[in-house]
């Protein structure tokens, strides 16, 4: 009788989840959170599977690289993009048209909204 056991002999194979984690981590450079979150999850699951495989699965380095890229890429992109948005917001705030006063989200005064035509006086 030939029974197959849970552990098979032969060369270890690379975890597909570890490869997918690395690929999604690299794609995070372009797609940021869209691929970073699945890349992080797959990397963690791959590490758990590799550890419990009894040396039948390899690729822990790929999984770790995928996890690191999935975490760092969105943070780096945010650190690069956030100052640009803040600077644009500051420029827009300082270059408001003359005669307008900002009051929350509501613009008051100015020639576009004169008082007396259904608009309350400021």
Residue 66 within any structural domain of the chain: yes
CA distances to 54, 76, 88, 113 from 105, in Å? 61, 31, 17, 15
Is 118 part of a structural domain of the chain?
A: no
Average pLDDT rounded to a whole number, residues 97-110: 56
51-90 pLDDT, tens digit per residue, is 999 889 999 999 999 999 999 999 999 899 999 999 998 8
CA 84 to chain centre: 18
- For all residues of the chain together, what is the average pLDDT? 82
Rounded-to-integer distance, Cα 122 and Cα 120, Å: 6
**Does residue 107 lie in a domain region?**
no
Residue 34 in domain: yes
Q: What is the mean pLDDT of residues 82-111?
A: 71
**Looking at the domain assignment, is residue 73 inside a domain?**
yes
Range of the structural domain that residue 80 is part of: 14-96
**Under DSSP, is residue 119 helix (H, G, I), strand (E, B) or coil?**
coil
The whole model's pTM is what?
Answer: 0.66
pLDDT band at 93 (very low <50, low <70, confident <90, very high): confident
How many angstroms separate the CA atoms of 41 and 66, rounded?
A: 10
pLDDT digits (tens, 9 = 90+) for 5-14: 455 678 899 9
Whether 74 is in a domain gets the answer: yes
Closest CA to 76 of 42, 119, 37, 32: 32
- Find the mean pLDDT for residues 5-34: 87
Among 56, 59, 27, smallest CA distance to 46 is for 59
Number of domains in the chain: 1
């Amino acid at each position: 009788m030939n029974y197959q056991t849970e552990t098979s002999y032969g060369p270890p194979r690379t975890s597909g989840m570890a490869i997918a984690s690395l690929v999604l981590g690299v794609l995070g450079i372009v797609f940021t959170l869209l691929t970073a979150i699945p890349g992080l999850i797959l990397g963690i699951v791959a590490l758990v599977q590799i550890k419990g495989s009894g040396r039948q699965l390899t690729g822990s380095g790929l999984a770790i690289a995928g996890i690191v890229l999935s975490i760092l890429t969105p943070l780096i992109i945010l650190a690069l993009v956030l100052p640009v948005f803040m600077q644009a917001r500051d420029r827009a705030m300082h270059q408001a048209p003359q005669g307008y006063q900002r009051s929350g989200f509501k613009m008051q005064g100015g020639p576009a909204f004169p008082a007396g035509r259904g608009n309350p006086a400021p």
